[in-house]
Amino acid sequence: MQLYRDVLCSAGHEVDGFADPLVAYSHFQENSDLYDAVISDVRMQGMSGIQLAKNLKEIRNDVQVFLMSAFEISEEHNSDLKEIGLKKFLQKPFHMQQLLVMVEKHMEAKAVTNPPQIGSGVN
C-alpha cells in the first residue's frame, strides 16, 4: 500500500491509506466529501473490496471506485462490478504507471464536469 501512496502523492494527489476495510469505510462515512476516488483490493479480511465499493456507493454514488486483484474475477463478481459501475480493474501485477494513468484520467474527467475536490482516497 505504501508504494501506491508514494506514487500518487509524488504526482500531487492527497492520499489516505487504510489496511483495514472496516476502518476505511468508517472514515469514508464521516469524510466522504474529501474523496474523489477510492482504490481497493478485491480480497481483504473483514469486507471484500466489492462489498466496500457497494457500501461507499450507498453513501456517495458519484465516488469512483477502482479495484485491483491478483486473482481472476468470477462470473458472480462480474455482475457486482457492473452494479457498482466499475470502470477500470487492475490485474496484479501491474506497473505503477498504469495506476497513475487510471487515476489521472479520472481526475481530468472530473475536472471537466465538476470543480476539483480536496483529495483522493486510496485503500
Q: Is the pLDDT of residue 123 over 70?
A: no
What does the pLDDT read at residue 118?
Answer: 44
Q: What is the CATH number of the domain that holds 78?
A: 3.40.50.2300
> Is residue 118 assigned to a domain?
no
Q: Is residue 121 part of a domain?
A: no
pTM: 0.82
Contacts of 54 (CB under 8 A, 6+ apart): 80, 83, 84
Cβ-based burial of 9 (10 A; exposed 0-12, middle 13-18, buried ≥19): middle
Nine-digit cell at 3? 508504494
**What is the number of structural domains in the chain?**
1
Place of cell 495506476: 99
pLDDT at 75: 64
What would the pLDDT profile of 69-107 be if each residue is shown by its tens digit?
998 776 666 777 778 887 678 899 999 999 999 999 988
Asked if residue 13 is part of any domain, the answer here is yes
What separation in angstroms does the CA of 104 have from each of 37, 94, 99, 100, 111? 11, 16, 9, 6, 10
Residue 62 lies in a domain: yes
For residue 31, give its domain range.
2-107
**122 assigned to some structural domain:** no
Instruction: Answer whether residue 113 is part of any domain.
Output: no
